[in-house]
Structure 1
Amino acid sequence: MLTEALEVNTESIIFTKNETQRVKLLRALSINQWLKNILIFIPAIFATVAWSFDLLSQLALAFLGFSFIASAVYVHNDITDKKFDAQHPEKKKRSIASGEISIQNARILQFLLIAVGATLLFLISNKVFILGIAYLIINLLYSQVLKQIPLVDLIPIISGYFIRLLIGEDIAEAPLSIWILLMVGLLATYLVLMKRQGDVQLFTTTGVQHRKTVVFYSKMNLPVTTMILIHAITLVFAAYIHFVFSQYPEEFSNLPYLTIPLTYIAIFSYHRSAQKRIQKDPISTLLRNPLSLICVGISFILLVVTLYPALG
């Protein structure tokens, strides 16, 4: 009976003719969060590896496979936090929190995402598969236990950014720069603390305690901490530009220095937007900030032109 029910529900999820239901299922995947998985491409880009169709296809496959695993984690978190999300001004609109998708269908969707994502990662290499499963296990532990422990709750989220880089490093066979690791670590810490700041604001204005750790974080001066992190990210980025690109030919070596003020403007502009949209998702805040997107885009082009002179 259980097997038959699973088959029926799985079929209804995949082959549903209800377009509205498909949209609800897609919303549950948090596809906008897949933007974070671009980090998988970073090691190959900044190590100036010899690009080939095989490398690009493996990176793309890893991006897709990891995105499915990440979506499974988002679905699991939404299932676990359904009661709390229903009280949140933004999260209550999510498919699971609002009741648009049943818990049973959400669990089936989660299983399918894990199965497909893990299979795709396994096709690349054993190490990539292990890293993907490690990400899944760490986040399941976070959802069930670790998110209740102040400061420790930051580690699983930050580690997710590093796992993305490690997957890209393994595929490209390109060692990661310590500067990139530092920048990503600081940026991840900043983004997590901004979310905690949103939890604190919600707690102080409405009394809704979305997380048990909110009392601890309410005693921290998070606005000052996040501003310190913004300047730390910029300083580390400036050091990376100086130590890496000062050795390039003179006609290219000056271009990367232009990215330092652009990076600061991008982060600071995002920070101002995030303060106004403190309850919003970081990715949606970024995508609604044209100035940050333009600065990041120009910086990326300048760095790529320097790293790959033939493109200039």
Structure 2
Amino acid sequence: MDVRPKPYFSSSASLESKQVCLGLAILRPRQWIKNGFVFLGILLQLRFPSWSQIIQVIIGAILFCGMSSTIYIFNDLIDFEKDRIHPEKKKRPIATGQISKKVAISLMVVLGTITLISGYFFNRNCGIILTIYVLVNIMYSLQLKEYIFIDLFCISVGFTLRVLLGFILLGLPITEYKCLWFLLFIMFFTLFIGLGKRKSELIILSTQSSSHRGSLKQYSLELISEVMPILITCTLITYIMYTIESKNVMIVFSTVFLLYGILRYQYLYNNIYALGKPENIIFIDRPMRICILVWGFIYIGAAIERLIAGV
């Protein structure tokens, strides 16, 4: 008896469109928005970037899209059996059997090789960062995801590497305290988001959580509730230290909106969207979107202020 979950697409769909849709689905293009972290360096430099810098960062983000999709395929190949017990992941093409493992492996190797080689040709440091990203994620998929908190740090490192790549492509001095504090802020912030996702998985998977992800049997709702305030505190402290190092009053003021965003996120996640994807709250909630826009406009205002002052 075939117990595989219902696939993404019905058999009535045309073969060509079905193959295209499956090819896109396995790359998870909706997740590419995470590579927007590469662009954060543009805000950090507090001045309007040149066209050359914009193109450099766009290329860096595209390369990260290719490499992250390579890792997504690798994860799906490793976890396709466990994905079949997850209410959402069971719909993925490899889990449903709509894409064979042979085809997935071929796509992964070709995409990963092209992306990595392109990264080294584009910028040596970009290639190094992509290599580190791949190695960390391979270790995560094969073993590190089984250990409590280490699994979160692996995910956090991926986002921090994205921001670091943006810094390098923009020529920002990554050894200055301002940049170091911002990188630490990104690390703690993504740890906070990642821990929220673990809470969501615990609730959704219930008694099957430990069979889906080894580290989940070590997490508990009580432990997560105790650790969350620590990560929120670290996130705020590192961001405040960054704003102080930026030596800009407007940037210091942006801390208020970061705090509101965190509080709003916690409220929504604990009361309304507990069973949803934590990262999707940003796009669902209007006050959250407005908060992020105002936060971004503060940085634009700071850049305009520096431009007028001739700095």
Please give the TM-score of this superposition, normalised by the length of structure 2: 0.83
Would you say 1:284 and 2:280 are equivalent positions? yes
Name the CA distance, whole Å, in 2 between partners of 1:207 and 1:69: 28
Secondary structure of the structure 2 residue equivalent to 1:213 = helix
Q: Tell me the matched-pair count.
A: 290
- Counterpart position of 1:295: 291
Secondary structure of the structure 1 residue equivalent to 2:96 = coil
Equivalence map 1:82-97=2 (5 Å): 82-97=80-95
Per-residue deviation, 1:50 = 6.7
Per-residue deviation, 1:17 = 6.7
Match of 1:136 among 131, 134, 137: 134
Per-residue deviation, 1:144 = 0.8
State the superposition RMSD in angstroms: 2.6
- Counterpart position of 2:8: none
Would you say 1:53 and 2:51 are equivalent positions? yes
Q: Which moved more, 1:215-224 or 1:87-96?
A: 215-224
Would you say 1:147 and 2:145 are equivalent positions? yes
Would you say 1:225 and 2:227 are equivalent positions? yes
Per-residue deviation, 1:140 = 0.9
Equivalence map 1:114-129=2 (5 Å): 114-129=112-127
Residues 139 and 265 of structure 1, relative CA distance in 2, 3 Å threshold: same
- Counterpart position of 2:264: 269
Secondary structure of the structure 1 residue equivalent to 2:214 = coil
Name the CA distance, whole Å, in 2 between partners of 1:311 and 1:278: 45
Per-residue deviation, 1:195 = 2.1
- Counterpart position of 2:28: 30
Residues 30 and 270 of structure 1, relative CA distance in 2, 3 Å threshold: farther
CA deviation digits over 1:203-252, x for unaligned, max 9? Answer: 5455663112222112852023224423432343334334424xx4xxxx
Q: Which moved more, 1:101-110 or 1:53-62?
A: 101-110
Name the CA distance, whole Å, in 2 between partners of 1:96 and 1:280: 23
Residues 49 and 299 of structure 1, relative CA distance in 2, 3 Å threshold: closer
Q: Which moved more, 1:91-100 or 1:183-192?
A: 91-100
- Counterpart position of 2:6: none
Name the CA distance, whole Å, in 1 between partners of 2:283 and 2:221: 31
Residues 203 and 181 of structure 1, relative CA distance in 2, 3 Å threshold: same
Equivalent position amino acid for 1:273 in 2 = L
- Counterpart position of 2:217: 215
- Counterpart position of 1:305: 301
Secondary structure of the structure 2 residue equivalent to 1:81 = helix
Equivalent residues of 2:269, 2:278 under 8 A apart: yes
Equivalent residues of 1:230, 1:268 under 8 A apart: no
Secondary structure of the structure 2 residue equivalent to 1:150 = coil
CA deviation digits over 1:280-303, x for unaligned, max 9? Answer: 433333222222121011111112
Residues 272 and 49 of structure 1, relative CA distance in 2, 3 Å threshold: same
Equivalent position amino acid for 1:303 in 2 = Y
Equivalence map 1:135-284=2 (5 Å): 135-176=133-174, 177-205=179-207, 209-218=211-220, 221-245=223-247, 248=248, 253=249, 255-275=250-270, 276-284=272-280
Q: Which 5+ residue runs of structure 1 have no aligned equivalent?
A: 1-15
Secondary structure of the structure 2 residue equivalent to 1:296 = helix
Per-residue deviation, 1:63 = 0.5
Q: Which moved more, 1:287-296 or 1:56-65?
A: 287-296
Q: Which moved more, 1:73-82 or 1:108-117?
A: 108-117
Q: Which moved more, 1:185-194 or 1:199-208?
A: 199-208
Percent of paired sites with the same residue: 23
